[in-house]
Amino acid sequence: MAQVSQTSQTSQMTEGAGTAGAAAPSGPAEAAGSAGPPKGFRSAELAWPRLDLIPHPPRRLPLIGDVLGANVRTPVQDSMRIGSSLGPIFRRKAFGKEIVFVWGAELAAELADESRFAKHVGLGVANLRPVAGDGLFTAYNHEPNWQLAHDILAPGFSRDAMAGYHPLMLDVARQLTDRWDARESAGRSVDVPGDMTKLTLETIARTGFGHDFGSFERSRPHPFVTAMVGTLSYAQRRNVVPPALAPLLLRGATRRNAADMAYLNRTVDDVVAARRAASGPGEGDLLDRMLEVAHPDTGERLSAENIRRQVITFLVAGHETTSGALSFALHYLARSPEVLARAQAEVDAVWGDADEPAYEQVAKLRYLRRVLDESLRLWPTAPGFSRQALHDTTIGGTHPVRAGGWALVLATLLHRDPAAWGERPEEFDPDRFAPSAVRARPAHVFKPFGTGARACIGRQFALHEATLVLGLLLRRYDLHADPGYRLRVAERLTLMPEGLTLRLTRRAAAA
Active-site residue (options: 224, 456, 461, 467):
456
Burial of 220 from C-beta contacts in 10 A (0-12 / 13-18 / 19+): exposed
- Three-state SS at 506: strand
Contact 477, 509 (CB under 8 A): no
pLDDT on residue 40: 58
Q: Tens digit of pLDDT for each residue in 334-356?
A: 999 999 999 999 999 999 988 89
β 406-410/97-102 pair status? parallel
- Residue 387 DSSP SS3: strand
Q: What confidence score (pLDDT) does residue 1 get?
A: 61
Contact present, 295 and 151 (Cβ < 8 Å): yes
Of the candidates 494, 496, 511, 473, which has an alpha carbon nearest to the alpha carbon of residue 180?
Answer: 473
Q: What is the number of other CB atoms lying within 10 angstroms of the CB of residue 178?
A: 10
Among 41, 101, 433, 449, which one carries the catalytic annotation?
A: 449
Report the alpha-carbon distance of residue 338 to residue 341 in Å, rounded.
5
Active-site pick, 321, 322, 381, 412: 321
Q: Which of 506, 487, 503, 484 is nearest to 495 (CA)?
A: 487
Active site residue 449: yes
300-306: long-range pairs with CB below 8 Å, 24+: 300/148, 302/145, 302/148, 302/149, 302/152, 303/145, 304/272, 305/133, 306/133, 306/134, 306/135, 306/145, 306/149
Each residue's pLDDT, cut to its tens digit, for the chain (511 residues) gives 654 433 334 444 333 333 323 333 333 333 333 344 345 578 899 999 999 999 999 999 998 899 888 888 899 999 999 999 999 999 999 888 899 999 999 999 999 999 999 999 876 677 788 888 888 888 888 899 999 999 999 999 999 999 999 999 999 999 999 999 999 999 999 999 999 999 999 999 999 999 999 999 998 889 998 998 898 888 877 877 777 778 888 889 999 999 999 999 999 999 999 999 987 667 789 999 999 999 999 999 999 999 999 999 998 888 889 999 999 999 999 999 999 999 999 999 999 988 899 999 999 999 999 999 999 999 999 999 999 999 999 999 999 999 999 999 999 999 999 999 999 999 999 999 999 999 999 999 999 999 999 999 999 999 999 999 999 999 999 999 999 999 999 998 789 999 999 999 999 865 5
Check residue 444 and report its DSSP letter.
Answer: T
Known active-site residue 298: no
Say if residues 10 and 389 touch (Cβ distance below 8 Å). no
Sign of the alpha-carbon dihedral angle for 347, 465, 193, 202: positive
**Predicted pLDDT of residue 236:** 76
Whether 203 is a known active-site residue: answer: no
Query: Tell me, what's the pLDDT at 23?
Result: 34
**Rounded distance between C-alpha atoms, residue 511 and residue 504, angstroms:** 12
pLDDT value of residue 36: 40
Residue 333 phi/psi, 5° resolution? -60, -45
Q: Which of 67, 123, 391, 94 is nearest to 236 (CA)?
A: 123
